[in-house]
Structure 1
Amino acid sequence: MITIDPGDIPVVLSGRALLSLRESGHNFPSAVGEVIDNSLESAANNIEILTTTELRNRKKVLSRIAFVDDGSGMDDDTLHHYLQLGFSRRYMSEKTIGKFGVGAKLAGLSVGTRIDAWSRVAGSSEIRHVVFDLDEALRAEENGGTAVISPPDDEPLPTDLGPHFPTGSGTVVMWSKIDRVTDNEGRSTPDHVLVELKKELARIFRAFLGGGIRIKVDGVLLKPHDPTFRQKGTWAEQVLAEHLKATGREVGDLRGQVFHDKIVKVEGTTHEVRVVITLAPPEVVRVKGAGGDALATKLRIPENEGAISFMRLDREINYNLVAKLFPGGVMTKDRYIGFEVHFTPELDRMMGVRNVKRGAVPSDGLRRTLKNIANNVIPGVREEIDRIWGQADRETAKNSGEHNSLAHAIKAADRTMPKARAKPNLTKAQVAREYDNLAKDAGRDKSEEEKAAYVQEIKELPFVIETVDIPGDDLFQLTHLEGQTIIRLNERHVFYQELYEPLRALSKEQNGLSEVPATARRAVQAITLLLVAYAKAESMHETPVDQYKELRKWWGTFTDQYLTKISHIL
């Protein structure tokens, strides 16, 4: 028996400690996810989230959140301990979603200061109730008492929740006295946070939703959202099918292409993880510059740029960037790449998993393992994106003629400027072949008539500018003919993809109230004019290829390297 000295004090002032623990690192979706975890562990097949709003200081706010599940329920002993911090029937288990005994409690208190729970087990007719109110606990401590959880009682469910309780076993958890509901950016309007909640839950629990578990938010049944595009029956599949039907196109298999799906050993350990890297289907990748349009936004493509999904027992615990993992840094095109890491709870420490199951910081060994895989796989995925874009460009001749107005203006200006001195000494057949190749690169060779018209159109221009797909790290290529220079701007180069193309897309926006598109057009024209001026300077040498080929090569290489190294400030 331990004798307590009159001068002894409690190790923890429970109420005040819980007040501090409200800052547990949860946002609203992650807090809600903790309760869903408990429902899944109790073998629930149906989970319903019901929200209530009220006007507070003339501002609409969430006032109550209720969770209803048809799981196995809790007997009196379990229910009594349900709100006790640290209690868990699965404490430190490596076979279950939860193991710390703090998740759902801290989750509820991160949102509001009162948690009620009602539960019924199979074979019982009684619904039992337990409650913890942080405000009452603080008052008890201030008056010299102790914060406690009273035994279960028979307090009835709120009237409006009664019809939602399952006919058999089940549980209702209710959060009230809500004072801090926000998303990752601190926005708190009910409409916004509920939209974000549905999006996050659909991704976090996608494996369970895809397997038949039903999760509803205010009556809306969630469809799984899979950034890797491997699952069927997803939100993206529905959106894509509707889009394709509306545009008169056939709906085929809308799943992504898998580039890597292997169990790998973590460097320096005996542990293994499963790493999946995929590419969204061509119907999503579509054409260059479409990654931020209305369809892409609806498919949640922009938020996937460089994000890695860490899946613990098929439940996502983190979806975010991992610094310096993608080769050469994260590129805009990487938003089409799905990247998943699957692991089991025994790797929690290595994964940096916290007790709130939010966030994962891979250990050095795992980071090196993932980086090695990324270096081997992602360049090939990026090449496939370029191939899809190139094919789309050739089919639509998207970029052909985009520089026509500038080229004709330069022709007029060039009449009074020094003439080119380049002497390529090409035969007529060689010149004709150069024009044939350019027509093919520009997607203007679908018929002999189209090709002939294109060649006739460009023959008299001193400079021909086309955006084309060039393998390698050349920023642009120049072909000097007699009195004419062909400029091929490389759409694969990082300068084009990260700077030129976004400006070009912005310049095409229709917004009569903004000067931004006009400014973007001038920027695109100015950059193109700089290339023309360089080409003009090079053409003043009789043998420009011999003289400047290496210079051009290094220019493209160094531009690539600088942009990659300082992309964080651009």
Structure 2
Amino acid sequence: MTIADEGAIPVVLSGQALLSLRESGHNFPSAVGEVIDNSIEARANNIQILTEEVMKGRKKALDQIAFIDDGEGMDDHTLHHYLQLGFSKRFMSEKTIGKFGVGAKLASLSVGTCIEAWSRVQGSDRIRHVKFDLDAAVNAEKQGKKVGINPPDDEPLPPHLEEVFPEGSGTLVLWSKIDRVSDGHGRSTPDHVRNELNKELSRIFREFLCGGIRISVDGVVLKPHDPTFLRKGTWVDAVLTEELARTSGIPYKRGDERHFHGQVFFNEEVKVQGTDHKIRVVITLAPPEVLRYKGAGGDKLAQKLRVPENQGAISFMRLDREISYGTVPRLFPGSVDTPDRYIGFEVHFTPELDRMMGVRNVKRGAVPSDELRKTLTTIAASYVPKARDEIQRVWSEENRKAAVKSGEHAPIARAVSSVDRTMPKGRVKEVPTPAQREKEYDNLAKDAGRSATKEEKAAYVQEIKDLPFVLETVDVPGDDLFLLTHLGEQTIIRLNQRHFFYQEMFEPLQVLAKAGKTSTGPDASATARRAIEAITLLLVAYAKAESMHETPIAQYKELRKWWGSFTEQYLTKIKDVV
């Protein structure tokens, strides 16, 4: 038989093609999101997601996932085509969330190989059912049989799901034969998967959750998570209210959350350069209760608030539904830095801009066109630096109010004082007058943020006047790592918080030390490695500094001797004071 005798052949081998389409680029939360999209389009107010577990070997794994909504339901024609790839009542619409007719189908196949749906329309007493099993379809195709979707039938609901099906109209979608579920870190245990799912869905559908749509996962009603900190009743509001109640001792009542509003730097509709299209861009800053103080952006509270994952992230919102959340290369001015995790960045657009936004047939990811990128880059260049400046201002203000830097070295200073009695005494000949000493103390109190009142300054001077060494972290312009002021028998040491050594090494170590035993993992290891580097480079830098003198041995021999001797004595006699 020749090729001509064979005649026309199918454009697509359905079973084989669907096996390939399992690699559609979905992760588990984005796949689940496609079903929620359909429920929202069907005017559902309540959407439940229920998972079931089985033991696979010695490990638990998800076996089935059910989606139940109280939407309009599907008549027989729509239900029959529900599982058909490419079918959509809203095909290519620019007024709805979905338009390609492939989202929910590809989503289900990316997770498992069997999908079923039961649906009832308003006024009907019949719940109708359809099913597609990919494994069965592939086997049928191999046997030369036609692969298709049978018309709706009257197969009853699974007994354990009867009670959750709505009394009026509604739909139940069931995914089974699940074999591809993991969280964003590749972990597939049900608890990890659910945690990641809850977190992602609460952000993706934040606008709908804030609007009153109810979405729950295994009975847990999702709270919206808003990286811009503008919406009320969010995850951040609940966490911060509970945290403040804990630290203040005031009883916390669920449902009585305060709103912690972000600061708005830009929230306007703008025209995309070179086009007639408009988008809305929002740039905000987290409230002070989230910003807190420098160095807190990775602690337990920050992680619970989901702050670290927001670093440099831009949220693209298509018809109020997030389709992308992540960094866009070269869009933030300069390089993305740690403080940027406190900056909220949203871009709102309508489906008519899908091509410009690089939206695919699965609502996951966005790649802005050149025109759009230019528009966003221009806005970011104007407002992100202002947000960054405000972060530094808030941190500086908090430092001043709480005198965070003041006294951070006090435990060591006091310990040095107690052991200094047995050590050689300084030989500084120049002794300041009482007026000079008072002026130095006055300047130091200002530098340390301890001079708001006369009483505060007097109390500070009383604390330090008898110490042989006073150490304070201060803001000093220039390249000096530290400044020394010798007052006869007392030396004031000002450690420069602007210096790269302090920012890169001392501060991270301090945060790590405060975290205590809870500090483990990559961050702690990286900080420890950096500490070894920094101490080594400190010695190298000193050696380099000596080499700038023509006769370093004659000039610095005694200095090195005393430095080494005092270091050994202090380390021997002082331990565990910070």
Partner of 1:122: 122
Structure 2 regions of 5+ residues with no counterpart? 251-256, 551-578
The verdict on how the C-alpha distance between 1:406 and 1:523 changes in structure 2, with shifts beyond 3 A counting, is farther
Partner of 1:6: 6
Work out the CA distance in 2 between the residues paired with 1:508 and 1:485. 25
Q: Per the alignment, in what secondary structure is the counterpart of residue 509 of structure 1?
A: helix
The answer (yes or no) to whether the contact 1:463–1:532 under 8 Å persists in 2 is no
The answer (yes or no) to whether the contact 2:482–2:495 under 8 Å persists in 1 is yes
- 1:386-439 Cα deviation digits (max 9, x unpaired): 222222222222222334577786997xx9999999x9x999867754542331
Partner of 1:441: 447
Partner of 2:239: 239
Partner of 1:106: 106
Aligned with residue 338 of structure 2, among 332, 345, 349:
332
Partner of 2:84: 84
The verdict on how the C-alpha distance between 1:499 and 1:416 changes in structure 2, with shifts beyond 3 A counting, is same
The answer (yes or no) to whether the contact 2:41–2:96 under 8 Å persists in 1 is yes
Work out the CA distance in 1 between the residues paired with 2:37 and 2:359. 15
What does residue range 388-537 of structure 1 map to in structure 2 within 5 Å?
A: 388-404=394-410, 432-452=438-458, 454-455=460-461, 465-469=471-475, 478=483, 487-491=494-498, 496-497=502-503, 499-511=505-517, 519=528, 526=535
Aligned with residue 352 of structure 1, among 348, 358, 379:
358
Partner of 2:287: 281
The verdict on how the C-alpha distance between 1:384 and 1:513 changes in structure 2, with shifts beyond 3 A counting, is closer
TM superposition shift of 1:57: 1.9
Q: Which amino acid aligns with 1:300?
A: R
Q: How many residues align?
A: 533
Partner of 2:254: none
The verdict on how the C-alpha distance between 1:473 and 1:92 changes in structure 2, with shifts beyond 3 A counting, is farther
TM superposition shift of 1:208: 0.2
The verdict on how the C-alpha distance between 1:380 and 1:435 changes in structure 2, with shifts beyond 3 A counting, is farther
What does residue range 182-193 of structure 1 map to in structure 2 within 5 Å?
A: 182-193=182-193
The answer (yes or no) to whether the contact 1:76–1:128 under 8 Å persists in 2 is yes
Q: Per the alignment, in what secondary structure is the counterpart of residue 125 of structure 1?
A: coil
TM superposition shift of 1:219: 1.1
Partner of 2:307: 301
Q: Which amino acid aligns with 1:265?
A: K
The answer (yes or no) to whether the contact 1:431–1:481 under 8 Å persists in 2 is no
- 1:251-290 Cα deviation digits (max 9, x unpaired): 8641111111111222232222111111111111112222
TM superposition shift of 1:539: 13
The answer (yes or no) to whether the contact 2:317–2:349 under 8 Å persists in 1 is yes
The answer (yes or no) to whether the contact 1:504–1:520 under 8 Å persists in 2 is no
Work out the CA distance in 1 between the residues paired with 2:519 and 2:383. 44
Q: Which amino acid aligns with 2:381?
A: N
Partner of 2:21: 21
Work out the CA distance in 2 between the residues paired with 1:367 and 1:473. 37
Work out the CA distance in 2 between the residues paired with 1:524 and 1:431. 38
Q: Per the alignment, in what secondary structure is the counterpart of residue 275 of structure 1?
A: strand
The answer (yes or no) to whether the contact 1:14–1:147 under 8 Å persists in 2 is yes
Q: Per the alignment, in what secondary structure is the counterpart of residue 231 of structure 1?
A: coil
The verdict on how the C-alpha distance between 1:87 and 1:261 changes in structure 2, with shifts beyond 3 A counting, is same
The answer (yes or no) to whether the contact 2:474–2:494 under 8 Å persists in 1 is no
Q: Which amino acid aligns with 1:195?
A: N
TM superposition shift of 1:474: 6.1
- 1:220-278 Cα deviation digits (max 9, x unpaired): 11111111111111111111111112222788641111111111222232222111111
Q: Per the alignment, in what secondary structure is the counterpart of residue 245 of structure 2?
A: helix
Aligned with residue 372 of structure 1, among 372, 378, 384:
378
TM superposition shift of 1:443: 2.1
The answer (yes or no) to whether the contact 1:406–1:525 under 8 Å persists in 2 is no
The answer (yes or no) to whether the contact 1:441–1:469 under 8 Å persists in 2 is yes
Q: Per the alignment, in what secondary structure is the counterpart of residue 241 of structure 1?
A: helix
Q: Per the alignment, in what secondary structure is the counterpart of residue 508 of structure 1?
A: helix
Greater Cα offset, 199-208 or 279-288: 279-288
Greater Cα offset, 431-440 or 507-516: 507-516
Work out the CA distance in 1 between the residues paired with 2:137 and 2:305. 45
Greater Cα offset, 156-165 or 499-508: 499-508
Work out the CA distance in 1 between the residues paired with 2:62 and 2:197. 13
Partner of 1:204: 204
Partner of 2:563: none
The verdict on how the C-alpha distance between 1:216 and 1:117 changes in structure 2, with shifts beyond 3 A counting, is same
Work out the CA distance in 2 between the residues paired with 1:489 and 1:524. 19
Greater Cα offset, 382-391 or 350-359: 382-391
TM superposition shift of 1:448: 3.4
Q: Which amino acid aligns with 2:47?
A: I
The answer (yes or no) to whether the contact 2:62–2:190 under 8 Å persists in 1 is yes
Partner of 1:290: 296
Q: Which amino acid aligns with 2:221?
A: L
- 1:91-144 Cα deviation digits (max 9, x unpaired): 111110001100000000000000001111111111111111100110111001
Work out the CA distance in 2 between the residues paired with 1:301 and 1:77. 46
The answer (yes or no) to whether the contact 2:497–2:503 under 8 Å persists in 1 is no
Q: Per the alignment, in what secondary structure is the counterpart of residue 187 of structure 1?
A: coil
The verdict on how the C-alpha distance between 1:426 and 1:253 changes in structure 2, with shifts beyond 3 A counting, is farther
Greater Cα offset, 358-367 or 225-234: 358-367
Q: Confirm whether residue 384 of structure 1 aligns to residue 390 of structure 2.
A: yes
Aligned with residue 342 of structure 1, among 341, 348, 355:
348
TM superposition shift of 1:176: 0.4
Work out the CA distance in 2 between the residues paired with 1:510 and 1:151. 63
Greater Cα offset, 20-29 or 227-236: 227-236
TM superposition shift of 1:481: 6.8
The verdict on how the C-alpha distance between 1:444 and 1:35 changes in structure 2, with shifts beyond 3 A counting, is same
TM superposition shift of 1:23: 0.5
The answer (yes or no) to whether the contact 1:507–1:520 under 8 Å persists in 2 is no
Q: Per the alignment, in what secondary structure is the counterpart of residue 317 of structure 1?
A: strand
The answer (yes or no) to whether the contact 2:407–2:472 under 8 Å persists in 1 is yes
Work out the CA distance in 2 between the residues paired with 1:534 and 1:435. 33
Work out the CA distance in 2 between the residues paired with 1:512 and 1:160. 42
Percent of aligned pairs with the same amino acid: 63
Structure 1 regions of 5+ residues with no counterpart? 542-570
Q: Per the alignment, in what secondary structure is the counterpart of residue 124 of structure 1?
A: coil
The verdict on how the C-alpha distance between 1:350 and 1:461 changes in structure 2, with shifts beyond 3 A counting, is farther
The verdict on how the C-alpha distance between 1:538 and 1:381 changes in structure 2, with shifts beyond 3 A counting, is farther
Q: Which amino acid aligns with 2:278?
A: E
- 1:55-86 Cα deviation digits (max 9, x unpaired): 12232111100101111111111111111101
What does residue range 131-210 of structure 1 map to in structure 2 within 5 Å?
A: 131-210=131-210
The verdict on how the C-alpha distance between 1:247 and 1:182 changes in structure 2, with shifts beyond 3 A counting, is same
Q: Which amino acid aligns with 1:490?
A: Q
Work out the CA distance in 2 between the residues paired with 1:217 and 1:21. 27
Q: Which amino acid aligns with 1:366?
A: L
